[in-house]
Chains A and B, each alone.
Chain A
């Protein structure tokens, strides 16, 4: 449809490794098409040119870990018509949310020579804990095919196809043999949100839970089965304390096994 002007896209970074933004650059062939359809107004990873807001679509990577960022995200929200968070940091707090389970001051004193210079929050939290989010795209990192799907859906006013069911369904569709049943390898796939196309099981590894909890995760039943396969309480805690450690269902399960 002819549009009077191209929608303005901004890509924002908070506490993160940049991996999800890189997925956008990684789109290579499709990147030109993206640039053709949207005005990339703010994307420091790709270009220094900055176009001022407001923006039609903001993609937000990273979690909130400092007082400054906790303010900055509100400004971005105000300047954005749609705000979509991308990746485990933005949607669940990321691997840095491991601090939430401990006293952050202890980390500071161990890691930094002069902890007094560090201004940080006690927790790493997802963007949705601070502002209203229109859509969350899961993954650590996100799947570039899903990112293009979200952008296409946004451009054409439809709901993105990013199903929230288990990884197992993707595993079975591609015909991968279940590593848990056929090898006894513990796998988080049954409680994990689809999106990676069951990458790890296709390489004979258990799922690491990169896409966070699926729609109705029965973590207690899966943990009990892992333990029958030989996993210890500690193994279970460690498995749920990954990139999505602070996602509700995973957090509760790891805490249950820590007691």
Chain B
């Protein structure tokens, strides 16, 4: 079907760098609040953007375990960085949220429901791994018996401008997880930045009617075969230069065989149980609920906050904490991400974005931990399966 712009879903067009602001204008005119990458506090984070000039133009990052440095590029690339400390989770599943309030009047409690009316988001620069992470959160929040109304409202109207990664970060491993770097679904428009001495353009894949309609306001031309090929080459190059890799063959069975493995003790000696890995992970969704009252007992509020399986209170039940040791907590987290998640939701809980590696203060690396357990089987240093240590 033809959109008003004369473009169809599936078309590939080219927008010049100089016209990127027009895309922002078009989104703003349609009432979206634009959220995307910007430089702040020595990192590329996600926040509200006023214009395309707020994007991290000419910036990139260097990433390793427990290490992130913002760096200048020697060109003016707009999307020349890998994912940073924030994820879209902040916007669709906010870190702190008041669920309801209550007031005491005439000796009775009255519940005041929260009515959140936000303009729809437009997310700019969403990477393939992040689209997979959103799809995983959709399964968690939208597809079960209980739909999360806050997530639904924030997520369903969101306009997605995705970006194919022109380079992988130092801790990326989407190629191992089959979650990138090429954007394949879940976008309205998907951009690939082509930049060299002669040109600075975006090749745009049109993913939805809504995306096609938006392009009616932005100057574009059809993409040539050479330009389409350039996109393929760029993405293939990114895929071949992942900072990390993870062997995922029968990973569920592998981890189920090794609930008791000396490597868990080893990682527990290093792990700070600080929870950073879960906070930065784009698929981790756990929350805690806090009830607060005012001094006079006239008002009460219920708050929901991001929680972590690395805290002790997370498994507090009458009688004690289920996962008291650091070993039990790290094992729970990693086994959930890579194995039990598959049983629970039908996919891996890890999209290979590398955030947990970069933002772990002591560089604990999920790919290394898997490798150590896997290699112990072939070197014979693994305890025999099923045998308690």
Contacts and interface: CB of A to CB of B under 8 A. Distances in A.
* B is a partner of A: yes
Interface of A: 1, 30, 33-34, 36-37, 148-149, 151-153, 155-156, 158, 161, 163-166, 168-169, 172-178, 180-183, 187, 189-191, 204, 215-218, 220-222, 224-225
Closest 6 CB pairs of A and B: A172-B279, A190-B274, A173-B95, A190-B272, A165-B311, A168-B274
B93 to A, nearest CB: 12
A181 B43 CA distance: 10
A166 B69 contact: no
A151 B90 CA distance: 31
Given A164-B313, A172-B306, A33 B296 contact: yes
12 contacts: A36-B296, A37-B296, A152-B295, A168-B275, A172-B306, A173-B96, A178-B68, A178-B361, A182-B41, A187-B361, A191-B274, A215-B311
Nearest to A178: B359
A34 B295 contact: yes
Contact of B90 (A34, A165, A175): A175
A169 B295 contact: no
Given A158-B291, A173-B95, A221 B272 contact: yes
Contacts of B271: 218, 221
Given A165-B313, A173-B96, A218-B272, A1 B45 contact: no
Given A164-B313, A173-B305, A178-B361, A218 B326 contact: yes
A148 B292 CA distance: 11
Interface in B279-318: 279-280, 290-297, 305-306, 308, 310-313
Nearest to B90: A175
A225 B86 CA distance: 23
A155 B70 contact: no
Which of A36, A151, A187, A221 has the most chain B CB atoms inside 10 A of its CB?
Answer: A221
Which of B68, B90, B95, B274 has the most chain A CB atoms inside 10 A of its CB?
Answer: B274
B40 A177 contact: yes
Contact of A222 (B68, B280, B292, B362): B362
Interface in B315-343: 326
A176 B95 CA distance: 12
A250 to B, nearest CB: 14
B279 A30 contact: no
Nearest to A30: B295
A166 B272 contact: yes
Contact of B269 (A161, A216, A221): A221
Given A34-B295, A151-B295, A169 B41 contact: no
Contacts of A216: 273, 312, 326
A24 B170 CA distance: 48
Contacts of A151: 295
A168 B279 contact: yes
Nearest to B364: A221
Q: What is the interface of chain A mostly: helix, strand, loop, or mixed?
A: helix
A155 B66 CA distance: 44
B238 interface: no
B363 to A, nearest CB: 8
Contacts of B280: 172
B361 A222 contact: yes
Q: Which bracket fits the contact residues of B?
A: 35 or more
Given A37-B295, A181-B361, A182-B70, A222 B279 contact: no
B270 A221 contact: yes
Contacts of B273: 166, 215-216, 218
A210 B95 CA distance: 24
B275 A1 contact: no
B358 interface: yes
Contact of A164 (B70, B270, B312, B359): B312
B295 A182 contact: no
Interface in B1-53: 40-43, 45
A191 to B, nearest CB: 7
A215 B273 CA distance: 9
B104 to A, nearest CB: 9
B245 interface: no
Contact of A225 (B66, B69, B90, B291): B66
Contacts of A156: 293, 297
B359 A181 contact: yes
B151 interface: no
A1 B43 CA distance: 50
B67 interface: yes
Contacts of A178: 68, 85, 276, 359, 361
A161 B306 contact: no
Which of A181, A189, A215, A225 has the most chain B CB atoms inside 10 A of its CB?
Answer: A181
Given A156-B297, A218-B272, A182 B68 contact: yes
Nearest to A166: B274
Contact of A169 (B45, B90, B306): B306
B308 A165 contact: yes
Contacts of B86: 175
Nearest to A3: B297
A153 B292 CA distance: 8
Contact of B361 (A33, A161, A163, A168): A168
A165 to B, nearest CB: 4
Contacts of A161: 290-292
Nearest to A33: B295
Given A182-B41, A218-B273, 11 more contacts: A33-B294, A156-B297, A166-B275, A168-B361, A169-B275, A173-B306, A176-B41, A178-B68, A189-B274, A190-B276, A221-B270
A223 B68 CA distance: 20
A36 B308 CA distance: 38
A32 to B, nearest CB: 10
B295 A181 contact: no
